[in-house]
Amino acid sequence: MSKPIRVTVWNEFRHKKTNAAIAKLYPEGMHGQIAKHLKTQPDLEVRTATLDEPEHGLTDEVLAATDVLTWWGHMAHHEVQDAIVDQVRQRVLDGMGLIVLHSGHYSKIFRALMGTTCSLKWREIGEKERLWVVEPGHPIAEGLNEYFEIPAVEMYGERFDIPAPDTLVLISWFAGGEVFRSGCCYDRGKGKVFYFRPGHETFPIYYQEEVLRVIVNAVRWAAPVDGPQINFGNVQPLEDVAS
């Protein structure tokens, strides 16, 4: 039997503390709800970490024992320490998967890995979103229908200032007239990065079956591969070089 995939669900976890409606919707935080679902999967081993823990809960030990990290942040991106961001980035380049959720598009870690601003359009009127699968053979599309709908969301619209995804899996339609690249796969170093748009602190999106399904699929897709150890730097020739 394969080894379980060790997932760390990271959450900024500030909204809940300051907003009663959010606290009611996600009494254990969004990380609590996501982790709860991931724990129902027999191949996943799940822990959580949050901003206000020491080292944001992302110590060397935790990172070393994490195969896939999921990231949700919004109001406190700037409070994430640069040194921790650097360590997370290095872990991704060394093979750890990273699933960036919703407002995490503007996190330091996502922007550092993308190299662009990751800016976008947004609107918060609770409109309908419909996510279309455009790459139906991709592992992240497993178990989905051709599209799924979320009845009330914060809208994110194009232009989304990201590098073109290595694979684009989902495109969103919004009632207000925009579209968005909502499921974006990247290879960065030996690691895999997936950006997934849905999720907001005031809507019950992380209770929706299709959304949870995508997150589980993405975790499995992003799990590290036992690929080659890479040696950088000065090397000797492998062939006789005539001189």
90 to 119, contacts with its own copies by CB under 8 A?
93, 95, 112-117, 119
Sole binder of its own copies in the list 39, 41, 47, 134 (CB under 8 A): 134
Report how far apart, in Å, the C-alpha atoms of 47 and of each of 10, 34, 91, 101 are: 9, 10, 17, 17
Give 10's strand partners: 49, 71
The reply to whether 190 sits near its own copies by the rule CB under 8 A is yes
> Residue 139 Cβ, how far from its own copies at the closest point, in Å?
5
CA distance 76 to 29: 15
> Residue 66 Cβ, how far from its own copies at the closest point, in Å?
16
Give residues with Cβ within 8 angstroms of 186, minimum separation 6: 113, 114, 163, 165, 166, 192, 193, 194, 195
Residue closer to its own copies, measured from CB, 23 or 168: 168
Sole binder of its own copies in the list 186, 195, 203, 206 (CB under 8 A): 186
Phi, psi (rounded to 5 degrees) for 190: -90, 5
The reply to whether 213 sits near its own copies by the rule CB under 8 A is no
The reply to whether 18 sits near its own copies by the rule CB under 8 A is no
Residue closer to its own copies, measured from CB, 23 or 175: 175
> Residue 183 Cβ, how far from its own copies at the closest point, in Å?
12
Give residues with Cβ within 8 angstroms of 168, minimum separation 6: 134, 135, 181, 183, 184, 185
The reply to whether 120 sits near its own copies by the rule CB under 8 A is yes
> Residue 135 Cβ, how far from its own copies at the closest point, in Å?
6
**Left if phi > 0, otherwise alpha if psi is -120 to 50, otherwise beta: which for 189?**
left
The reply to whether 139 sits near its own copies by the rule CB under 8 A is yes
The reply to whether 76 sits near its own copies by the rule CB under 8 A is no
Sole binder of its own copies in the list 52, 79, 187, 209 (CB under 8 A): 187
Torsion angle (degrees, nearest 10) of CA 33, 76, 58, 100: 60
Sole binder of its own copies in the list 157, 202, 204, 213 (CB under 8 A): 157
The reply to whether 87 sits near its own copies by the rule CB under 8 A is no
Torsion angle (degrees, nearest 10) of CA 71, 47, 39, 76: -30
